[in-house]
Amino acid sequence: MSASTIQLFLYGKWLFNIDQAQTLLKEHPRNAQPTPVADWATSYHLDRLTPGYDAARWCPVFGPDQSAFNAEHALQTDLNTPVIIATMEFDNGPAILLIDGVHRMYRAMTEGRATLPAYTLTVAETATIRGR
């Protein structure tokens, strides 16, 4: 990735700046906590990104689709690097969203890992890295 490239995560109308999240985490360090791979793999339909997937076509509500996902890259990712989870507040309470680490989740799923390390941003922190 070149120095001028900004890493972003787009989910619906929301745009999250991953570079800003990483800077925030450096300025306000915390311990990574385990997050369950199976839950995220199911939520992001990562099982449908495998080369052997042979079922109905689908459109992901969130997460990658086959055309925008690089499984070869995913298998080279570092599973020791924590993923980043955003927290947003809604009428029903807080909700979390994986904003950085989908490729790592895919690799962890294919390797049968139970958890990956994760940094979870607070609602206030998430608001500072969300562009819209």
For the chain, domains (ranges, CATH) are 14-129 (3.90.1530)
The predicted pLDDT at position 1 comes to: 47
> What are 60-102's pLDDT values in tens digits?
555 555 556 778 888 999 999 999 999 999 888 999 999 999 9
- pTM of this prediction? 0.86
Buried b (16+ CB within 10 A) or exposed e, 45-54: bbebbeeeee
Backbone angles phi, psi at 104, to 5 degrees: -65, -40
The tokens for 52 are 């052997």
